[in-house]
Structure 1
Amino acid sequence: MNKLRAIPAALACLFFAGAGNAMAEDYNPSWYIGGSIHAAETDEIFGAGNRGYGVGLRLGKPLSESWDAQINTNYTRASDNGKRYQQNALGIDLLYLFSRSTVRPYLVMGIAANRDRSNAGLKSGDSTSPAASGGVGVQLSLNDQWSAQAEWRKVHGYLHGNDFGFSQASNSHLSVGLNYSFDKPKVAARTVSFAPTPPPEPVMVQAPPPAPAPAPPPPVYQKITLSATELFAFDSAVLSTPQPKLDDIANALNANMQINQVVITGYADRLGSDKYNLNLSEQRANSVKSYLNNKGVATQRLNAIGKGESNPVVVCNNKKRVDLIACLEPNRRVEIEQFTVEQRVR
């Protein structure tokens, strides 16, 4: 079993490498089913050696971006010179996933009811008892509905009041298998580019022909639109500097005191949770509001709100995270009336 003991170390290296690069991403809330095979290091106290093999079946459900629950059943068998040991287990596991990207390292903890049976002479017996387990694993996304799962765990049983003559025993399992999600992940709105929209040219309105009492021409306004790329870094609500266009907006508002109720609306893309995106969009809108306020625009003239990932501009289906982040840029924005403020030009 020396080789079996060395494999968890390799699995742990993959676990920590994946955890170090983990980033939050949308998860598929669909139920999934999976099967596995495993090699087991069984407790020699059962009298049938310490090498076993088995199969397993699990039914899982993502609970959040970080947690999965799994109901599982396993069968393990070991034999040595005619002595045979078998274990049937039915349990519930909780998985804490460090990522929802392609490589998903996780920690697992669980409880189970184990039925242990052995025909090894004085150590023969048949007992059903509680057990606790813990370990590490990693899931590898293969496509929208299929994923591979590898896991090492330690299972410790409490065999009180049994036929074996001992009260505790431990087995180790190293398993590999496949999972199938019943539903495909939902596709949310995405963006394609993040080029700022140039301000439209001023519209000049010619005065009407002279009249006995000519009415003054209506004022003409220019709408100024900014994109979020010019304001913030990815996943940040801290304004970069300098901000010449925001300075122009502040000057226009200070020069036109009749412009009131300027609405500043922040948006985020779909990466991350709804609550996180809503908070980030509110922080971005308030950063712009604070900047304009520091430039002399009265607070009561400005209203900052966040709308999270609502009202997306574009839709993306990129599989690679780097491409997906670039594609989603237009949805990460702050708007002042579409990032607009009216500036009187006449």
Structure 2
Amino acid sequence: MNTTLPGYVEVAVIGGGPAGAVAARMLAQLGVTVALLEAGQHHPLVGETLPPAVRPVLDRLGLRATVEAEGYLPSVGSWSAWGDAEPWGRDFIYSYFGHGWHLDRRRFDALLREAARAAGARLVTGASVMASAPLAGGGFSLALADGREITARIVLDASGRGASFARQRGVRRQTLDRMVALVGHVVRRAGADEEPAASLVEATAEGWWYSAPLPQDRLVVVFMTDSDIAREIGTSTEGWLDRLSAAPHTGARALRYGAGLAGPPVIVPAASGRLERFGDVDWLAIGDAAATRDPLSSEGILIAMESGLDAAEAAARALRGVRDALPAAAERREAGWREYLALHDQYYDMEQRWPDARFWQRRRSRTLQAAE
């Protein structure tokens, strides 16, 4: 692995998650000099499912065969007890793209970073960007925590929810809700029947549950709720199991599969939110740095990868003199956010079983509120 920090690159990508790694690989494939600055901090990772629609993205990156060779667990469908007590959904056997995958996220993210390095991107680990400053002739100077510096004509901020570079530019973050995820991993019981490799979503009065099998003989079981409700539950196994008892389908799945939790539940931020603006003529926020969406869609990784591709192509055009290339990409993010808000309201309006529960009241759409 090359950890030497160059003095100058055409594009610096801050953050080595899916958005940043995909952008760096694509830029390198386009012949752009690029550094992928990976801080190396290991935060809990919740998104573990790649939907079938990721295949065209993998094809554009030249990575479909690489991902298929990893032996990830095929994702064969998605089911929801949402708006009704009985689950409904679809099998991916009917999908045009075939099945998706349930991932080992750390392994998958490392695969994407290595793919960027193999394409020619300079992968610099332990590179935490602490400060940045615009240069008189255009571009930015980036100061790392260890005292090193790098300059770049364009910066792509893929630093996650913290959006560190955008915040250094004075851009604030707007939050839509207070969602958090209480994440538990159920260890597979010896002799347990093989659990269907499908995701399951189940609504309850205080939030909703997500579960899916993982390649490591574990079932991830996540309770999505608001931070104030989560504080009342706490992170004890007992409180988490008490809420699980209100989700009959998810609870039954965990009992069939498991021999207990691998450890106490972990709370992970999951709020929807966005930056006030997504970029300028010489920088662009991508992935979670730009916007975070409700995990209900189960497409967070795909959206991050798509944003990385789009940003790379926009940055390459900007380097060729197309001044509005990055602002146009920012406008595409604005349009995507508007579409997301409409879908968010549509999905939450489907669930009407607990109209007086605070979790669901907070998610009543503007359309329903105006009708009253």
Question: What TM bracket, shorter-length normalisation?
Answer: under 0.3
TM-score (norm 2): 0.20
TM-score (norm 1): 0.21
Q: Which structure has the higher relative contact order (CA within 8 Å, separation 6+)?
A: 2
The structure with the largest helix share of the pair is: 2
Give 1 or 2 for the bigger CA radius of gyration: 1
